[in-house]
Structure 1
Amino acid sequence: MLKITDLVKRYGGGDPVLKNLDLTIEGESVVSIIGSSGAGKSTLLRCINRLVEPTSGSIELNGTELTKLRGRNLRAARRKIGMVFQGFNLVDRLTVMENVQSGRLGYISTWAAIMRRYPKEDIRRAYELMERVGIAHYANTRADQLSGGERQRVGVVRALMQNPEILLADEPTASLDPKTSEQIMGLLRDLAGELKLPVLINIHNVTEAKEYTDRIVGMRYGRIIFDDKPASLDQEAMDRIYSGSPHADRSEDLRQAS
């Protein structure tokens, strides 16, 4: 279970990007986060895996308080959090297998990684996952020779090689054509069920969010203002998520403080 309590992220002396945010995700649910640019969606995901340091608040994953971890303990906790990136974040000159095995870097020695001497069990698992997502035949192909959809499938397998307890996806379909986007969203949904894995997806495409996820969280200016099943996301909710203004949000801050 992921439990976020009273999370705040502030850069410098400006207004907080995340404002006392609470969110709980359990089981194998697929949860999408929607909202306009600047709502805080990507910052939220990056606070969870500590790519961005929270200003205050609590982020707990299966009983481990992530915000208090440092050094070796933080690195160990990050192994449990898989991340799929919008820009794929692959090493183009490496093969698909080598990119996939980078998901195991936290588990093998530096020498083994440099020499590319991967454990047999890791190779077996990589082929199993690549076969599942349809890229096993590209195992020895350089990453820069793949299409966008194929590259994103490599990113998904790399994240799953960590044996994560939760999978985060930051705009995983933004760089893809509509058909490939639907394939990737369907893949994430199916893998969540097969692997009993909670998935949290930051996404701009509301249609895909409604079709492929179990729950939608709507954010506006650092706050969650909608949290319900896709069927409940009506026009009124959409207007609240996408038609608000920073000025109105500051007024809400003042009312809460008074």
Structure 2
Amino acid sequence: MLRIQNLVKRYGHGEPVLRGLDLDVPGESVVSIIGASGAGKSTLLRCINRLVEPTEGSIELNGLELTHLKREELRKARRRIGMIFQGFNLVDRLTVMENVQCGRLGYIPYWRAALRKYPAEDIERAYHLMERVGIAHYANKRADALSGGERQRVGVVRALMQQPEILLADEPTASLDPVSSRQIMELLQKLSQELSLPVLINIHNVAEAREYTQRIVGMRFGKLIFDGKPADLDQAAMDAVYSGTAGDDRQQADVESRQAVTS
């Protein structure tokens, strides 16, 4: 269970990006976060794993309060939180196996990673997971030789190698073609069920949120203004989430996606 209470994030003396946000994410659930650019979706995910420091509030993962952890305690806590990035965040010159093993860096001594001397059980687990997502045959291939969808599958396996208690996915399909996008969303949905793993996804594609997640959270100006099942996301809720924001290319894409879904 992830429990967030009264979360506030402010940069300097400006207006807060997150404004007293409350959110619970139970186990074995796939929850999507929608909203126009600037709503605070990515900031929320980065506060959870402390890539961004919260200004106020509480973030608790299975009984562990995350917001006040320092150094070694924080490093250990981050092992419990898998992160999947829009830009993949792979090391291009390394092989798929080497990138996947980066998910174990919080568990093994530095010298093992530097010398590529990974424990046998970690290699066995990596092959099992790569087989599960369909990339085992790429184990010795460099990451920069893969397609976008294949690279994102490497990112998924790397996160699972941490044996996380929750998966955070920050726009995991934004850089992918439509077919690869659907494949990645379906994969996250199935992995959540198979591993009893909660998944929290920041996503711009409302159609994919409707199809592949059990619950949709809508954000606007740093606040949650919708929280319900996909079937409950009607036109009024969509208007509340997306109206009244300054337009740019990404926001226009949000509006077009919304219109495509509701037309």
Give the alignment's TM-score, normalised by structure 1.
0.95
Q: Secondary structure at the match of 1:68?
A: coil
- Report 1:82-231 matches (<5 A): 82-231=82-231
Q: C-alpha displacement at 1:245, in angstroms?
A: 4.6
Q: C-alpha displacement at 1:56, in angstroms?
A: 0.5
2:34 pairs with 1:38: no
Structure 1 Cα separation of the partners of residues 129 and 111 of structure 2: 25
Structure 2 Cα separation of the partners of residues 220 and 112 of structure 1: 45
Q: Which runs of 5+ in 1 are unaligned?
A: 247-258
2:76 pairs with 1:76: yes
Q: C-alpha displacement at 1:160, in angstroms?
A: 0.2
The corresponding residue for 1:23 is 23
Structure 2 Cα separation of the partners of residues 58 and 244 of structure 1: 29
Summarize deviations over 1:187-206 as a string: whole Å, max 9, x none. Answer: 00000000000000000000
Structure 2 Cα separation of the partners of residues 150 and 171 of structure 1: 16
Q: 1:157 is matched by which residue type in structure 2?
A: V
2:29 pairs with 1:49: no
The corresponding residue for 2:260 is none
The corresponding residue for 2:259 is none
Summarize deviations over 1:233-255 as a string: whole Å, max 9, x none. Answer: 00100000000358xxxxxxxxx
Q: C-alpha displacement at 1:27, in angstroms?
A: 1.5
Q: C-alpha displacement at 1:93, in angstroms?
A: 0.2
Q: Secondary structure at the match of 1:31?
A: strand
Q: Secondary structure at the match of 1:23?
A: strand
The corresponding residue for 1:251 is none
Q: After the TM superposition, which parts of structure 1 deviate over 6 Å for at least 4 consecutive aligned residues? A: none
Percentage of identical aligned residues: 77
Structure 1 Cα separation of the partners of residues 43 and 245 of structure 2: 19
The corresponding residue for 1:232 is 232
Q: Secondary structure at the match of 2:31?
A: strand
Summarize deviations over 1:111-149 as a string: whole Å, max 9, x none. Answer: 101001000000000000000000000000000000000
Partners of 1:32 and 1:200 within 8 A in 2:
yes
Give the alignment's TM-score, normalised by structure 2.
0.93
Structure 2 Cα separation of the partners of residues 220 and 100 of structure 1: 35
The corresponding residue for 2:66 is 66
The corresponding residue for 2:261 is none
Q: 2:155 is matched by which residue type in structure 1?
A: G
Partners of 1:19 and 1:222 within 8 A in 2:
yes
Partners of 1:220 and 1:244 within 8 A in 2:
no
Summarize deviations over 1:43-72 as a string: whole Å, max 9, x none. Answer: 000000000000000000000000010010
Structure 2 Cα separation of the partners of residues 22 and 45 of structure 1: 13
Q: 2:202 is matched by which residue type in structure 1?
A: N
Q: Secondary structure at the match of 2:82?
A: strand
Q: Secondary structure at the match of 2:60?
A: strand
Structure 2 Cα separation of the partners of residues 224 and 69 of structure 1: 26
Q: C-alpha displacement at 1:151, in angstroms?
A: 0.1
Partners of 1:29 and 1:214 within 8 A in 2:
yes
2:10 pairs with 1:4: no
Q: 2:117 is matched by which residue type in structure 1?
A: R
